[in-house]
Amino acid sequence: MRHEVFEEWIFNGESLSEKEVESLQLHLGICESCNLHYRAKSEVEGLFKSEKLSTPIVGFASRWRKRLMDKSHLERVHKHRHLSIFSLLLTSGIATIMLVPLVIYANQNLEPPIRYLIGVVNNLVDIYLFIKIIQLIITTFLKVIVLIVPISYWLLMMAIFSTLCFIWLYTLKPLSSNWRAS
Ligand SMILES: [Zn+2]
C-alpha cells in the first residue's frame, strides 16, 4: 500500500476500522516516514489536550477584559483625584488672594479702602521707580565702561565672555541629559 493512504489514516485516526488500525500499526512498524508523521500528530494532539495550554485560553479573554476595566477605572479615579486637588488649590488660592486686602484693611485700623488703594498704587510707583533707577545705573555703568575701556579690550572681553558662554552651554547640555536619564 502507498504512504498517502497511511498518512490519511494517521490524521483521521478516529474513523478507522479495526482492520485499518491493524494494517496502520503494521505499516508504522516498518515505515520511518509514516512513523514520523504519526509521532508529530500525537505530539500536537498532546499539546492541545494538556492542561498547561488549554487552561489559560479558557479564561484569557474575560481576565484580559477585567484587567483593562480595572486599569481604566483606576485611571479615572486618579484623574478625578488630580482634578479635585487642583480645584481645591485654585479655590484656596483665590480665597487667600481675596483675603489679603481684607487683612491689610483690618490692620490699618479700619481706614477706608481708598487709603489701601492709594497705598497699593504708591507701592507700584515705588517698584516702578526702583526698576527705573536700576536701569539708569546699569546703562550709566555700561556707558562709562565703554568710554573708559578701549575698543580692542572691549572686543577681547566680549570674545572671552562668549567663549565662556559656549563652554557653559556645552557642559550644561550633557549634564541636563544625564539628569533626564536618571
Ligand atoms: Zn509509510
44 grid coordinates: 500536537
Question: Is residue 169 assigned to a domain?
Answer: yes
Distance 26 CA to ligand 1 centre (A): 10
What whole-number distance in Å separates Cα of residue 28 and Cα of residue 182?
A: 64
Question: Is residue 113 assigned to a domain?
Answer: no
Q: Can you give the pLDDT at residue 30? A: 93
Distance 33 CA to ligand 1 centre (A): 5
Residue that terminates a domain, selected from 33, 49, 65: 49
Distance 15 CA to ligand 1 centre (A): 19
Q: What is the mean pLDDT of residues 57-71?
A: 67
Taking all residues of the chain, what is their mean pLDDT, rounded to a whole number?
Answer: 77
List, for residues 49-62, the tens digit of each pLDDT value: 775 555 555 566 66
pLDDT at position 146 over 80: no
Q: Can you give the pLDDT at residue 26? A: 92
* pTM exceeds cut of 0.85: no
Crossing angle for the helix pair 3-11 and 18-30, nearest 10 degrees?
120
Q: Can you give the pLDDT at residue 70? A: 75
Distance 45 CA to ligand 1 centre (A): 20
Distance 14 CA to ligand 1 centre (A): 19
86 grid coordinates: 487642583
Residue-range definition of the domain harbouring residue 162 = 149-182
Distance 148 CA to ligand 1 centre (A): 107
Distance 28 CA to ligand 1 centre (A): 7
Distance 37 CA to ligand 1 centre (A): 9
Distance 92 CA to ligand 1 centre (A): 86
pLDDT at position 98 over 80: no
pLDDT at position 41 over 70: yes
Distance 47 CA to ligand 1 centre (A): 24
> What are the start-end ranges of the H helices in the chain?
3-11, 18-30, 32-49, 51-107, 113-148, 151-181
Q: Can you give the pLDDT at residue 94? A: 78
Question: Is residue 16 assigned to a domain?
Answer: yes
Q: Can you give the pLDDT at residue 169? A: 81
Distance 46 CA to ligand 1 centre (A): 22
Q: Residue 77 — very low, low, confident or very high, per pLDDT cuts 50/70/90?
A: confident
- List Cβ neighbours of 53 (8 Å cut-off, separation of 6 or more): 47
Q: Can you give the pLDDT at residue 97? A: 75
Give the chain's domain count.
Answer: 2
Question: Is residue 12 assigned to a domain?
Answer: yes
Residue that terminates a domain, selected from 49, 74, 89: 49
Q: Can you give the pLDDT at residue 27? A: 92
Question: Is residue 63 assigned to a domain?
Answer: no
Does 16 or 91 have the greater pLDDT score? 16
Q: Can you give the pLDDT at residue 64? A: 65
Question: Is residue 86 assigned to a domain?
Answer: no
Question: Is residue 121 assigned to a domain?
Answer: no
Question: Is residue 157 assigned to a domain?
Answer: yes
